[in-house]
Amino acid sequence: MVNYPHQIRKKIIRTNSDPRQKRVNFANRGMSFETAINDSNGYYLAHGIAVIHKKPTPIQIVKVDYPRRSRAKIVEAYFRQASTTDYSGVFKGYYIDFEAKETRQKTAMPMKNFHAHQIEHMEQVVGQGGICFVLLHFSTLKETYLLPAVALISFYQIDQGSKSMPIAYIREHGYEIEIGGFPSLPYLTIVEKILLGGDSVEQNNH
């Protein structure tokens, strides 16, 4: 079993002598936050660790043309607001469900990122014993946190007037995802260690 946060932090310090680049992460590799998540899900899938996919974007289709000798062409459609979260899947039999949000702000995550429908969905998932959380990326700080849905729901319910969730709250109730190895964003390590209380998935050899 790996003493995960300290080990990774040491590795970062060791491999980066330039203090301006203390934090190596997916952004340094030219990867967006969403790409890093998808990349990690691809890694988990390829290694038989978990089956987690991003759901397709919900679209309201209004008009479809059927040109001769070619496939159906959608010619009028609109983006719909998602009523659930973006990612879901299965990890060791457990249902995994999460949403990912990023901000350039340094001190807080704007709450407009979370819609009432999504919060309600998270409550329902938690009620069914699903493992539900949000991945919060602070791009300027190069910090990414896993915040359990219960902490987000509590904040939402208690501070409904709040326009943003302070990073102090996220640091207190969430877990920083230490970055620098593979996969790009090893969020299941936290799920397994903290939420399931097991060993690190990083050490699995499939």
Distance separating the N- and C-terminal Cα atoms of the chain: 16
Strand, coil or helix: what is 205? Answer: coil
Position 51 contacts a second copy (CB under 8 A): yes
Q: Give the pairing type, strands 108-110 and 164-166.
A: antiparallel
Position 130 contacts a second copy (CB under 8 A): yes
Residue with tokens 């959608």: 74
Position 91 contacts a second copy (CB under 8 A): yes
105 annotated binding-site participant: no
76 annotated binding-site participant: no
Q: Which residues contact 66 (CB under 8 A, 6 or more apart)?
A: 72, 73
Site residue total, a second copy (CB under 8 A): 39
Member of 92, 106, 117, 171 binding a second copy (CB under 8 A): 92
Position 116 contacts a second copy (CB under 8 A): no
Query: Could you tell me if 153 and 122 are in contact, meaning their C-beta atoms sit under 8 angstroms apart?
Result: yes
Q: Which residues contact 160 (CB under 8 A, 6 or more apart)?
A: none
- The least CB distance from residue 17 to a second copy, in Å, is 41
Cβ-based nearer residue to a second copy, 24 or 153? 153
Cβ-based nearer residue to a second copy, 8 or 52? 52
Cβ-based nearer residue to a second copy, 56 or 197? 56
Member of 10, 55, 106, 171 binding a second copy (CB under 8 A): 55
Coarse DSSP helix, strand, coil percentages of the chain, rounded to the nearest 5 percent: 35, 25, 40
- The least CB distance from residue 10 to a second copy, in Å, is 32
Q: Which residues contact 198 (CB under 8 A, 6 or more apart)?
A: 192
Which residues here bind a second copy, judged by CB under 8 A? 45, 48, 50-51, 53, 55-59, 61, 71-79, 83-84, 88-97, 121, 124-125, 127-130
Residue positions in the annotated binding site for Mg(2+)? 84, 86, 99, 118
